[in-house]
Structure 1
């Protein structure tokens, strides 16, 4: 059993939802229109961990209040980090002696035009864990734009990684902005951009990256006019390395997941997928976040009892791996009977692996979690749901190369 994972770039906690599963943010996807963006733009009345600024807040001042608190119990760990930058930087701070509050160290200030993540885990009076994950962005100078990007600089990622930019303002001159972002690799491959609307630009090669590829992203957006009178401020170079190949195939009908490394079958794991009324998306999805523990609450996606509380509220979902922005996760499940895995689909759209309360490294979920990188591909087949949208998470591999290239502003 373990509760803390010491892995570079690993998120501590998140709040989200899935079948028989979790709480605090949005939920697992389904064919019944349940496609709510995870990230919890609202606050559940059942939240035990209160975070300031609110999740998804924009334009936070550099000297704005940052605080994490609980009404009772104690905070076990809190981490506030500037992410999606040339170098992640942790905000120094400390938990109060009574364990009820975390605040930044005296004199600490937030950076302008930056994105921050807040990860917190708390214990109640009975030693039960609850987790919360939020993000916010700070103020961008007037008449300027910035692109928040994935993956993190200097990270090692899976072969399915897609370079994704989210802009803080609508981009009208998309060709100029796309031209100012240059992506090269060793060994060299053709990389093309694809716009999803005016605020998101993704880049990928024709096929998955080869293991060992070194990728460089040159941002030359400073003074590029993205919209009338709005100019870029970024001028930096970032890079990442592609690790080993791991592609996992979930068969919703057979209730199995085949894990392949470099094309060879390593292990077949029993799973549970979305129930008949809350099915799992088909298609290729990419792991974008890893959480050793997270919370999932049915109330955030409409699964409520008559008293308004969630039909389920699991505050310590172990080994959670995000697959889509709308809330599809592959995660550990300790509350379903072990006989469920490999025989039945009972979730609200997520893919579940057997686990133990607290998270066991020896469980199927623990085994898979320890061997997963951001950027690994999980493909779901034989579900009765539709195929996941290319803009839902890093779902761009569900679009053929011709259509992908047609979405570039440079064609």
Structure 2
């Protein structure tokens, strides 16, 4: 039985009876027939049985009359629920976000054709979830005005999602022009989306979650939805080759600069041993004109062999564990011939400044022949380092 409690306070319609003027009647002329105007009736509907899903709107309907007033209140918060009347004022439908585990008090008034009013009261109980998994954006849209063609978008939940397929069906990505793509579940709480190839330059990409009130398994339901629109700028792609020790820059497919570089060393030299740059496509995460690079951030601190703390300029970050394109004057003599860095791509001043000025968040840097392992998906935005077949297998719907 639906748990919608209703108390009726109905006004009785009056029956009007015409009386004759005397005891006699004229053939063919009788007393007037009684006329009854039905009382207006109010019903409160919200599908869902004993506990209504909060994504289901509350609907108030009047029959034999029209609605003159509707108030729906959450007494726990004191907030009133926003809704709209139909054009003929026979229906009121909520268009607000309802809460989980709430009792909404409804007071509705309707009038019949004779102007007689009836008031109806009731309660709507929303379901209680074991947990509410609220989504947030993997890539915030406000960190840049626009993004590179290597943009990775996605959703993070603050609780485990056990029914990934249900969640994925509720997630919606649209792009203009249309480019398709697939989801990949990094964990029970995080899913990323990308197309097979880079986004087209000039595209617009929109992400909408649509999970609110969606059952996500084991009593967990989706929390309030989020959405974002991303603008894709010109195609800027860097290609770094560990064999040639060159970093090339392509703008909309055209080679516009070649810079000698020194990547991470592969030799087992003390004190750290090999520190090769990760292979695979990196994505620019951010940039800082001047930074202090401190080896203590990865465990080699002051007093230990190999410790350094050095100011570096024109720093473009390309991985989560501290790989950058940046100026390094100490390695200029071997840039273009040897890989001697701690994992970064070292450049001279002019080249570092040029890449800093032209490369921005979402622009891909493809690293090959570095001698290092593949960049992991959780090390910045290592998603493009995963081949397309493997990426598709990470979808709950296509895997």
Instruction: Report the counterpart of residue 138 of structure 2 in structure 1.
Output: 149
Residues in 1 aligned to 2:154 and 2:368: alpha-carbon distance in whole angstroms: 25
> CA contact under 8 A between 1:299 and 1:308: conserved in structure 2?
no
Aligned residues: 261
Q: Deviations over 1:12-53 (max 9, x none)?
A: xxxxxxxxxxxxxxxxxxxxxxxxxxxxxxxxxxxxxxxxxx
> CA contact under 8 A between 2:135 and 2:155: conserved in structure 1?
no
Instruction: Give the alignment's TM-score, normalised by structure 2.
Output: 0.61
Residues in 2 aligned to 1:403 and 1:343: alpha-carbon distance in whole angstroms: 35
Q: Quick one: which of 171, 174, 178 aligns to 2:164?
A: 174
Structure 2: gaps of 5 or more residues: 1-130, 267-273
After TM superposition, the structure 1 = structure 2 runs for residues 179-198 of structure 1, keeping only pairs within 5 Å, are 179-198=169-188
- Structure 1 residue 397, shift from structure 2 partner: 1.7
After TM superposition, the structure 1 = structure 2 runs for residues 279-358 of structure 1, keeping only pairs within 5 Å, are 279-304=276-301, 307-308=303-304, 311-314=307-310, 316-334=311-329, 336-355=330-349
Instruction: Report the counterpart of residue 403 of structure 1 in structure 2.
Output: 390
Q: Which has the higher contact order (CA 8 A, sep 6+)?
A: 1
CA RMSD, Structure 1 to Structure 2 (Å): 2.3
Report which of the two structures shows the higher radius of gyration computed on alpha carbons: 2
Residues in 1 aligned to 2:384 and 2:392: alpha-carbon distance in whole angstroms: 12
Instruction: Report the counterpart of residue 371 of structure 1 in structure 2.
Output: 358
Instruction: Report the counterpart of residue 261 of structure 2 in structure 1.
Output: 271
Residues in 2 aligned to 1:207 and 1:228: alpha-carbon distance in whole angstroms: 36
Residues in 2 aligned to 1:341 and 1:258: alpha-carbon distance in whole angstroms: 14
After TM superposition, the structure 1 = structure 2 runs for residues 205-224 of structure 1, keeping only pairs within 5 Å, are 205-224=195-214
Secondary structure of the corresponding residue to residue 389 of structure 2: helix
Secondary structure of the corresponding residue to residue 226 of structure 1: coil
Secondary structure of the corresponding residue to residue 160 of structure 2: coil
Does 2:372 align with 1:385? yes
Query: Kindly tell me: are residues 338 and 183 of structure 1, through their superposed partners in 2, closer, same or farther at Cα, counting changes over 3 Å?
Result: same
Residues in 1 aligned to 2:291 and 2:298: alpha-carbon distance in whole angstroms: 16
Residues in 2 aligned to 1:144 and 1:159: alpha-carbon distance in whole angstroms: 30
> CA contact under 8 A between 2:133 and 2:157: conserved in structure 1?
no
Residues in 2 aligned to 1:165 and 1:326: alpha-carbon distance in whole angstroms: 21
> CA contact under 8 A between 1:299 and 1:309: conserved in structure 2?
no
- Structure 1 residue 311, shift from structure 2 partner: 0.8
- Structure 1 residue 215, shift from structure 2 partner: 0.8
Residues in 2 aligned to 1:286 and 1:172: alpha-carbon distance in whole angstroms: 30
After TM superposition, the structure 1 = structure 2 runs for residues 85-124 of structure 1, keeping only pairs within 5 Å, are none
Residues in 2 aligned to 1:317 and 1:227: alpha-carbon distance in whole angstroms: 48
